[in-house]
Structure 1
Amino acid sequence: MAQDHSKSNGPDLAQGIALSDLPDGGKLVGRCGDEQVLLVRRGTEVFAIGATCTHYGGPLVDGLVVEDTVRCPWHHACFDLRTGEAVRAPAFNPLACWSVEQRGDRIFVGEKRKRVAKKPTSGGAGQFAGKIVIVGGGAAGFAAAERLRREGHQGSILMLSDDEAPPVDRPNLSKDYLAGKAPSDWVPLRGASFYAKNDIDLRLKTNVAAIDVRSGEVVLADGNQTAYDRLLLATGAEPVRLTIPGADQPHVHTLRSFADCSTIIDQAKTARSAIVLGASFIGLEVAASLRARDIEVHVVAPEERPMERVLGPQMGDFIRSLHEQNGVVFHLEHTATGIDGTNMQLGSGLTLTADLIVVGIGVRPRLGLAEKAGLSLDRGIMVDSFLETSVPGIFAAGDIARWPDPHTGENIRVEHWVVAERQGQTAALNMLGQREKYTAVPFFWSQHYDVPINYVGHAERWDEIAVEGDIAAKDCLLRYKHKGRTLAVASIFHDLESLKAEMEMERQRAT
């Protein structure tokens, strides 16, 4: 949740500071008028940019400077120190920049600089200016459309979404917004005016029936066809549906869309008890959010420990204990067999009663269009390092894409929000012909009450978990290793170390 850092103390940078107060590589927060400004020194250069991340307001002074960029400690957004541009999701809005002058042994911050838009990509030799169609209105689709316009693409952009709402900040749907701690205007990634202003033809409640790869056309469910020069598949994933008797009742829900979240919130206003099926990240974030609304919560899941498959036994035990301290009752190594009104029967014979049931038992990638179009599949859409599928001109990004990961040396598919956004950005560049490989290290964050968990890397298996710090004290960093090599790092309140681990993984490649 965003915080207000505007009242932070700091020197008046217009009056200047001593150069010695800002050593090489150092960061310092001061003020220019009513605005907080971050100074960063790199050698003989000093940069002045906005002090808080434009994503959720993280304090960049606590982040990491990597070459000519600064990375946010909270969710690993990245900004260009020279231009303020948000070069890496989850941030999209740029930071403000100020002019800096050195006089003698003092540094002075002057006026805020005007932003300069990138030159259009159309009209020049070898510059792509054709029609781009994006199928999907989630993280990857939005990030691609936004990046295309930011890069100056002047060709048409058609975005087809079967959702009834414009692209939303989906992580908020299970976290702060569901908990009642965030206003509704936080939820859209952009307001309606953004799409009109940027000439992005966003069509909601629009189903795509097929892709004709020979004619280069997308066939809509209503029979209409639209041509494309480049196509991005960003259809995402859909929740696994509960198939037991009674699962179709109106108080049984999955959580994926803004409409799903709104329905759950409406029912939560009068509910006194809830059952969450599944001890996944989504399931337990929902449990925490419902507890914030003073609803009794029971969690039913077949595994022995929550999230052990991803985070290991130590962190799994901690997460269970954290939720139990906040009143959640677990029924692990149990499965539901039927729902009769407000009663849920478990395989063990136990019956639980709840006014509200939320099902979080996983998601499946939406591969139907790709399969019908004859694209190469392997538990996802196979793409190359540039996120292009087996059919030239068709790209895929987000939950559906399986790509060659340079860090593990394997083809992987990852269902993380930030991964989808960053892949959408890279796909946009490659649809414009820039040929940029997707090499970002996977990252996600999860929030449980007042405890954030950051995770960088990708470890489907490990033979060692090295624990630094104290998990129970909420002050730890865990390294997931295979044959001595760190594949992933999970951390609680070790934000700088998490950023450093991400940087180290970027600089390493699988051997």
Structure 2
Amino acid sequence: MSQGEEIIGPDFALGIASGEVAEGAPMRGHVAGKAAIMVRKGGEVFVVGAFCTHYHGPLAEGLVVGETIRCPWHHACFSLRSGEAERAPAFDALARWRVEQIEGVIFARERIRTAAPKTAPARAPGSVVIVGAGAAGFAAAHALRAEGYDGAIEMVGADPAEPYDRPNLSKDYLAGSAQPDWLPLRDPAWYRDNRVSLRLGRRVLSLDLAQRRILLEGGESVGFDALLLAAGADPVRLPIPGADASHVHYLRSLADADRLIAAAAGAKRAAVIGASFIGLEVAASLRARGLEVHVIAPEAVPMARILGPDLGAHIRRLHESHGVVFHLEDTATEIGADALTLKSGGALAADVVAIGVGVRPNVALAEAAGLAVDKGVLVDEYLETSEPGVYAAGDIARWPDKITGERVRVEHWVVAERQGQTAARNMLGRRERFEAAPFFWSQHYDQAISYVGHAPAWDRAELSGDPAAGDCAVTFYAGGRKLAVATLGRDLESLQAEVAFERAIGAL
């Protein structure tokens, strides 16, 4: 049994006095050697598994909302009644036990079997094609089967690898602390057992919306009744000499990560161009591999535009405490075989170079097909494009966001997964609005930043707590409207901010 499954707290099978179980406050314990939590909600008591099925987050530290519990780490949401994972990034259900109350004592009894599968509506499409095998694409395929859809599902992806955990590429996987077999979102057998046809390493050349077909390279075409576009984004390439040299790396795919890992094995000094989230995560991972790391970026304070000056300055100090050297308010003008030329006039030696200066959404297919496109594929609140029966999700989707009051496009993993789930349910006629508050997390050494909401521009940032102590929150406003909350070491506050945004969205 792993340390995370350590058996602590009372044995729920032996009984817990009813008065000891507070309303909405998860109690940690165990049943038959399995870690569990007990939660009272109104007149009912539920006993479910103690750890999130995504990254094993401790649900006893999570937040109970209605008949659900949310993970403190990455905001997955589970039904207390069924154990079902209701929202990404978790997909597997929690274990659950039957509860019995006798004379003021609560007992956990036998394990309850998985709930019966759902039945899809009679008007469900005959076939679904998903363009893109990333976060949104996988989540959509999974949701379709979870909702009882029995028709054909074809998933087409340019990446030759089966859907995998992309956020890990710049974090633990690149650092060397996550094994390759941790990355796949599902075992290959899952796709076979659930009849999800994968066409990987294949590019879609065009969409024929009139004939409801997609054309693949090689001349093959695939028909559809409903279509999800989840083509993702590609890294922005620096337009400077040497940016495409063999020792220069852009991190987007598993193959990119493997090439960077191989290059790092024979290198001593790395240069990272860009102090974005991915750039600094790469810097931290390369430091974990023992490389000397230099970061070049044009801003005065890393990530200040997103996180504010206080939290941005803390992130800089954190990286510097681990040996990262910053070259701020500067840019690279040329990349040579063993050194970079800086705009400031200096030169910086480097064996390997990683570039993280943003991504560009893959909207060419949609635009060529005549779909409405403006800085992304335009979708309505149901994630449907200008063509009925065609949906878009993930990095390419630009939807009407009630937090900002504007159309937004967000390049984050959890957003893509949740949009994939919503689009899938809407293909089945559920008419579910996408109203989740955007969420992402970023890992830097032993500190994780959580960010809820979306603040592309803000005029006021309020700090509470102390970043240096690893305990703070920054709230971002524009014109008096609260747009986002970033937290460090305050997981519960991050969850509470998410719920507040959702309730505000629902009231609009």
Q: What's the TM-score once normalised by structure 1's chain length?
A: 0.97
In the alignment, the residues of structure 1 paired with residue 3 and residue 139 of structure 2 have an alpha-carbon distance, to the nearest angstrom, of 26
In the alignment, the residues of structure 1 paired with residue 387 and residue 480 of structure 2 have an alpha-carbon distance, to the nearest angstrom, of 38
- From the superposition, tell whether residues 485 and 8 of structure 1 become closer, same or farther in structure 2 (CA, over 3 Å): farther
The amino acid across from 2:272 in the alignment is V
| Seq. identity, % | 57
| Aligned residue number for residue 307 of structure 1 | 303
- Runs of 4+ that moved beyond 6 A: none
| Aligned residue number for residue 9 of structure 2 | 10
Residue pair 1:13, 1:30 contacting (<8 A) in 2 also? yes
In the alignment, the residues of structure 1 paired with residue 257 and residue 186 of structure 2 have an alpha-carbon distance, to the nearest angstrom, of 18
Q: What pairs up with 1:8-47 in 2 under 5 angstroms?
A: 8-47=7-46
Secondary structure of the residue aligned to 2:14 is coil
The amino acid across from 1:252 in the alignment is V
| Aligned residue number for residue 334 of structure 2 | 338
Provide structure 2 residue ranges, at least 5 long, that are not aligned to the other structure: none
Q: Does residue 1:216 correspond to 2:212, yes or no?
A: yes
For residue 178 of structure 1, the aligned residue among 170, 174, 178 is: 174
In the alignment, the residues of structure 2 paired with residue 343 and residue 433 of structure 1 have an alpha-carbon distance, to the nearest angstrom, of 56
Query: How many Å apart are 1:217 and its aligned residue?
Result: 0.7
Residue pair 1:121, 1:129 contacting (<8 A) in 2 also? no
Secondary structure of the residue aligned to 1:472 is helix
The amino acid across from 1:182 in the alignment is A
Q: Does residue 1:441 correspond to 2:440, yes or no?
A: no
In the alignment, the residues of structure 2 paired with residue 117 and residue 356 of structure 1 have an alpha-carbon distance, to the nearest angstrom, of 52
Secondary structure of the residue aligned to 2:12 is coil
Secondary structure of the residue aligned to 1:159 is strand
Secondary structure of the residue aligned to 1:399 is helix
Secondary structure of the residue aligned to 2:4 is coil
Q: Does residue 1:492 correspond to 2:491, yes or no?
A: no
In the alignment, the residues of structure 1 paired with residue 463 and residue 331 of structure 2 have an alpha-carbon distance, to the nearest angstrom, of 32
Q: What pairs up with 1:43-442 in 2 under 5 angstroms?
A: 43-121=42-120, 124=122, 127-442=123-438
Q: What pairs up with 1:495-506 in 2 under 5 angstroms?
A: 495-506=491-502
Secondary structure of the residue aligned to 1:357 is strand
In the alignment, the residues of structure 1 paired with residue 359 and residue 66 of structure 2 have an alpha-carbon distance, to the nearest angstrom, of 38
In the alignment, the residues of structure 1 paired with residue 185 and residue 5 of structure 2 have an alpha-carbon distance, to the nearest angstrom, of 23
In the alignment, the residues of structure 1 paired with residue 480 and residue 98 of structure 2 have an alpha-carbon distance, to the nearest angstrom, of 46
Q: What pairs up with 1:469-484 in 2 under 5 angstroms?
A: 469-484=465-480
In the alignment, the residues of structure 2 paired with residue 140 and residue 487 of structure 1 have an alpha-carbon distance, to the nearest angstrom, of 24
Q: What pairs up with 1:459-470 in 2 under 5 angstroms?
A: 459-470=455-466
Query: How many Å apart are 1:463 and its aligned residue?
Result: 2.0
Residue correspondences, number: 506
Secondary structure of the residue aligned to 1:289 is helix
CA shift digits 1:72-111 (9 cap, x unpaired): 0000000000011000000011101100000011000011
Residue pair 1:129, 1:154 contacting (<8 A) in 2 also? no
Residue pair 2:7, 2:34 contacting (<8 A) in 1 also? no
CA shift digits 1:340-377 (9 cap, x unpaired): 21111111221111111111011000011001001101
Provide structure 1 residue ranges, at least 5 long, that are not aligned to the other structure: none
Secondary structure of the residue aligned to 2:238 is coil
Residue pair 2:487, 2:494 contacting (<8 A) in 1 also? yes
Residue pair 2:308, 2:474 contacting (<8 A) in 1 also? no
Query: How many Å apart are 1:4 and its aligned residue?
Result: 3.7
Residue pair 2:7, 2:33 contacting (<8 A) in 1 also? no
The amino acid across from 1:51 in the alignment is A
Query: How many Å apart are 1:120 and its aligned residue?
Result: 3.1
The amino acid across from 1:462 in the alignment is W
